[in-house]
């Protein structure tokens, strides 16, 4: 006996951006979601419509990405059209509260040289060269 797909499952299979839509919406609005405390619990609201999500997907050419994920340019602000974009999951996972946690090569520690320049402790790439690869939204 096979399980009947729900309308949400059918919609996600037809529209790849809908998975991101449902997950982001849930983590902002459902206290039972394990990530709610980091989103809805902090007051982050999900203000995107399905049409907004589709427009973001097309604007950012997410279909060409290996593993696209929705990202807020300014993580202190809500999910709204001007603050959102699709980026590669690997790039999104390197950012925490707008700060890089890993350099491009995956090294996870930055040090400050005596000159005051912040660099990766392993490959010596500048933190600012890495950080400026990601456009940020206005506050």
Q: What is the pLDDT of residues 64-87, one digit of tens each?
A: 999 999 999 888 889 999 999 998
Residues of the chain under the 50 pLDDT cut? 1-2, 5, 7-12, 97, 134, 136-139
Q: What is the pLDDT of residue 119?
A: 72
pTM of the model: 0.61
Beta strand 110-112 pairing with 118-120: antiparallel
Retrieve residue 16's tokens.
Answer: 């790849």
Measure the CA–CA gap between 37 and 27, rounded to whole angstroms: 8
């Amino acid at each position: 006996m096979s399980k009947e797909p729900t309308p949400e499952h059918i919609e996600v299979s037809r529209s790849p951006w809908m998975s991101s839509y449902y997950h982001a919406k849930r983590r902002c609005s459902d206290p039972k979601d394990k990530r709610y405390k980091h989103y809805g619990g902090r007051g982050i609201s999900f203000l995107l419509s399905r049409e907004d999500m589709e427009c973001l997907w097309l604007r950012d050419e997410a279909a060409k990405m290996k593993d696209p994920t929705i990202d807020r340019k300014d993580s202190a602000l809500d999910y709204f059209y001007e603050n959102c974009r699709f980026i590669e999951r690997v790039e999104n996972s390197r950012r925490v509260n707008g700060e890089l946690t890993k350099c491009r090569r995956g090294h996870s520690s930055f040090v400050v040289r005596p000159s005051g320049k912040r660099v990766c402790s392993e490959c010596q790439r500048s933190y600012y060269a890495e950080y400026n690869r990601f456009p940020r939204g206005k506050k």
